[in-house]
Amino acid sequence: MSSIAATGKRSFGSFLWDYLTTVDHKKIAHLYLAGGGFFFILGGLEALIIRIQLIKPQNDFISAGFYNEMITMHGTTMIFLAGMPILIGLMNAAMPLQIGARDVAFPFLNALSFWLFFFGGILLNVSFLTGGAPDAGWTSYASLAMQSPGHGVDYYILGLQIAGAGTLMGGINFIATIVTMRAPGMTYMRMPLFAWATFITSVLILFAFPPLTINLFLLMFDRMFDTAFFNVALGGNTIIYQHLFWIFGHPEVYILILPLFGIFSDVIATFSRKRLFGYTAMVFATMLIAFLGFMVWAHHMFTVGLGPVANSIFAVGTMAIAVPTGIKIFNWLLTMWGGQVTINSAMLWVLGFIPTFTIGGMTGVMLGSAVADYQYHDTYFVVAHFHYVIVGGTIFGIFAGLHYWWPKMFGRILHEGMGKFTFWVFFIGFHLTFFIQHFLGLMGMPRRYWVFLHDQGLELGNFISTIGAFLMGVGTIVFIVNIVYTAVKGEKASADPWDGRTLEWSISSPPPYYNFEQLPLVRGLDPLWIEKMEGDGTIPPGEPLDDVHMPSGSFIPFLMGLGFFVAGFGFIYQTDNGLWYLALYGGMAFSIGCMVVRSLKDDFGYYIPKEELQKALEGEAK
């Protein structure tokens, strides 16, 4: 008896240890999805608290200070700790398989990226337990952020700094992977759109995150070390903070949406049984959107008083983004045109996305008209707009991607009935919540309002909005039930449950830890479809069978994250008590020590012998 208990215990321990030390992109994807999912639920609860507070005029469900903490943490959590990590999780899960690679270029760095995100996110949320979360909005504009009492904003700075470093590394990693590790024959213009989107998003991360890092450093120095970058009394300037924030912040919204454009493209092509209409135009439209995304940051600042020249230039630039986005919408519709469109859960999310995102794009252009924006800016109209693009685009796309790749990631298909139920409840709830907010904004309700007053015509809209939010909550709960149900009783997935077109569907579900026994030979766009139509339905090998080199796992990434986590507390509290310098220097020394160990210790990984791969191939053939 005792031996059984011991093995059971050991197997959980080894499971945990496996994930703590893994450098396998597929397991890191699981970690990202679990971490991002956890923060998504947290951010969702914060959203519900906000909506309960706004269910009736002059409500006192929560205090004004706590309300500001809620809006700040909801925005920060959803963007940095839920949206982006889940996307990076999906990129990790699918992109290497799509380009026919055995892993990402830097597996160790990949694990480090995750643990930095994880510890950064935890650090940020610890603030709830230590006397107050950040309360200056997710933008944390300098003048208010500098005045904010307590350590909330310090947690924001350090948490995002650590998580952001992880994201930046992830971006660099994906760029290197796509540039160097495409399978034989996988030219750039044969890559699936999701791989393209990952590539372009990573370039955006590479250029957008440094301004955020700098901005956070400046704010940190002002708050902790008495510099005066943003202190107007001492000659500083708060507008600079806004510029730096949006030079990061606007590309950030494209970081949040471009990967989904990739997912939608792949899902639509698969379930329409047709190749993507206008592939080349789609690729270049994505690039153009990314490029223009860096040119329009000041449309978040039309009311700052930059003058008519700046406002006009940024207004026209903003409207111009509608053109490549329109190209995409029409290409998706034309991909379905003439195809055979199977409507399942994954496809439902795509079909929900098209009208929703079109409305979001429509209000985006309307916001781009600077003088009209004088009315929209910082009202519920803007809140409605960015939820239409971020929920209607990013979250709908994440659900589509999860349904689509779940069998590949976990070997089981999510339950269709619950999937469809989730979609309809969430979709209806979403439009109930946010459509009315366009009008609330124009009727005179600014955003970030703790209360709205009696008798200002805002009661009905806010009430409807709160009801909708709860429907979205119900949809999310059913999706979680679906995950548990699928894990226990879900239908086992074949290698290719959707009759797919791209490389990831040519290997078993879930894939072996080395992905491909032999790297595949790619003969065109949609390689698996080509082989199904013109070949024998299997991908020909692009290399002779040989030993495969694999990286070994490592606990160092976790430890490095932990070191920075401890140092974060040191930075935050050294202003109160000099003893905290111990944590600051100790944590930093520990992390840097880990780097030194990593650099000096030779780790050549290991080889999977040819014979083992041969056996696996024969097993598949049977």
Report the residue from 201, 272, 462, 554 that binds other proteins according to the rule CB under 8 A: 272
**Nearer to other proteins among residue 333 and residue 597 (C-beta):** 333
CA separation for the pair 480, 459 (Å, rounded):
32
Is position 369 an interface residue for other proteins (rule: CB under 8 A)? yes
**Nearer to other proteins among residue 67 and residue 199 (C-beta):** 67
Report the residue from 56, 273, 523, 610 that binds other proteins according to the rule CB under 8 A: 273
**Nearer to other proteins among residue 110 and residue 215 (C-beta):** 215
Cβ proximity of 450 and 68 under 8 Å = yes
Scan for tokens 């590394």, then name that residue: 169
CA separation for the pair 620, 622 (Å, rounded):
5
**Nearer to other proteins among residue 370 and residue 560 (C-beta):** 370
SS3 129: helix
Report the residue from 141, 221, 470, 580 that binds other proteins according to the rule CB under 8 A: 141
Other Cβ atoms less than 10 A from the Cβ of 591: the count is: 21
Scan for tokens 């990076």, then name that residue: 88
Cβ proximity of 498 and 13 under 8 Å = no
Residues 283-312: x/- map of binding to other proteins (CB under 8 A)? --------------------xxx-xx--xx
Report the residue from 41, 109, 144, 224 that binds other proteins according to the rule CB under 8 A: 144
Report the residue from 78, 112, 136, 200 that binds other proteins according to the rule CB under 8 A: 136
Subset of 495-514 contacting other proteins (CB under 8 A): 499
Cβ proximity of 483 and 414 under 8 Å = yes
**Stretches 95-103, 125-133, 151-159, 360-368: which one binds other proteins (CB under 8 A)?**
360-368
CA separation for the pair 35, 111 (Å, rounded):
13
Cβ proximity of 398 and 260 under 8 Å = yes
Cβ proximity of 47 and 76 under 8 Å = no
Report the residue from 366, 481, 559, 562 that binds other proteins according to the rule CB under 8 A: 366
State the number of CA atoms in the 13 A half-sphere of 412 facing the CB.
13
Residues 191-230: x/- map of binding to other proteins (CB under 8 A)? ----------------------------------------
Scan for tokens 């990631």, then name that residue: 409
Report the residue from 48, 126, 281, 521 that binds other proteins according to the rule CB under 8 A: 281
Subset of 145-174 contacting other proteins (CB under 8 A): 147
**The length of the chain, given as a count of residues:** 622
Cβ proximity of 136 and 153 under 8 Å = yes
Q: Hey, what are 224's tokens?
A: 């902790």
Is position 178 an interface residue for other proteins (rule: CB under 8 A)? no
Report the residue from 287, 354, 550, 588 that binds other proteins according to the rule CB under 8 A: 354
Report the residue from 340, 576, 604, 618 that binds other proteins according to the rule CB under 8 A: 340
Is position 329 an interface residue for other proteins (rule: CB under 8 A)? yes
**Nearest-approach distance from CB 143 to other proteins, in angstroms:** 4
Helix axes of 345-368 and 238-272: crossing angle, nearest 10 degrees: 140
CA separation for the pair 131, 151 (Å, rounded):
8
CA separation for the pair 429, 443 (Å, rounded):
22
Residues 249-268: x/- map of binding to other proteins (CB under 8 A)? --------------------
Residue 395 DSSP one-character state: I
Is position 187 an interface residue for other proteins (rule: CB under 8 A)? no
**Nearest-approach distance from CB 307 to other proteins, in angstroms:** 7
**Nearer to other proteins among residue 20 and residue 281 (C-beta):** 281
Is position 417 an interface residue for other proteins (rule: CB under 8 A)? no
Cis amide bond preceding 510, omega within 30: yes
**Nearest-approach distance from CB 61 to other proteins, in angstroms:** 14
**Nearest-approach distance from CB 537 to other proteins, in angstroms:** 13
Residues 72-101: x/- map of binding to other proteins (CB under 8 A)? ------------------------------
Subset of 422-461 contacting other proteins (CB under 8 A): 439, 442-444, 446, 448-453, 455-458, 460
**Nearer to other proteins among residue 56 and residue 448 (C-beta):** 448
**Stretches 206-214, 270-278, 486-494, 585-593: which one binds other proteins (CB under 8 A)?**
270-278
Q: Hey, what are 543's tokens?
A: 């290399």
Q: Hey, what are 257's tokens?
A: 């949406």
**Stretches 106-114, 273-281, 506-514, 605-613: which one binds other proteins (CB under 8 A)?**
273-281
**Nearest-approach distance from CB 443 to other proteins, in angstroms:** 3
Cβ proximity of 145 and 136 under 8 Å = yes
Cβ proximity of 158 and 568 under 8 Å = yes
Give phi and psi for 421, each to the nearest 5.
Answer: -60, -45
Separation in Å, CA 589 to CA 331, 522, 582, 585 = 53, 47, 10, 6
Is position 237 an interface residue for other proteins (rule: CB under 8 A)? yes
**Nearer to other proteins among residue 523 and residue 598 (C-beta):** 523
SS3 541: strand
CA separation for the pair 460, 178 (Å, rounded):
51
Scan for tokens 């199977």, then name that residue: 342
**Nearest-approach distance from CB 290 to other proteins, in angstroms:** 17
**Given CA atoms 206, 209, 211, 213 in this order, what sign does their dihedral have?**
negative
**Stretches 125-133, 356-364, 423-431, 557-565: which one binds other proteins (CB under 8 A)?**
356-364
**Nearer to other proteins among residue 181 and residue 239 (C-beta):** 239
Is position 467 an interface residue for other proteins (rule: CB under 8 A)? no
CA separation for the pair 88, 394 (Å, rounded):
12
CA separation for the pair 62, 71 (Å, rounded):
12
Subset of 16-75 contacting other proteins (CB under 8 A): 63-65, 67-68
**Stretches 116-124, 361-369, 407-415, 587-595: which one binds other proteins (CB under 8 A)?**
361-369
Subset of 514-533 contacting other proteins (CB under 8 A): 529, 533
**Nearest-approach distance from CB 81 to other proteins, in angstroms:** 21
Q: Hey, what are 44's tokens?
A: 């969702």
**Nearer to other proteins among residue 19 and residue 332 (C-beta):** 332
**Nearer to other proteins among residue 164 and residue 317 (C-beta):** 317
For the chain, give the longest Cα–Cα distance: 80
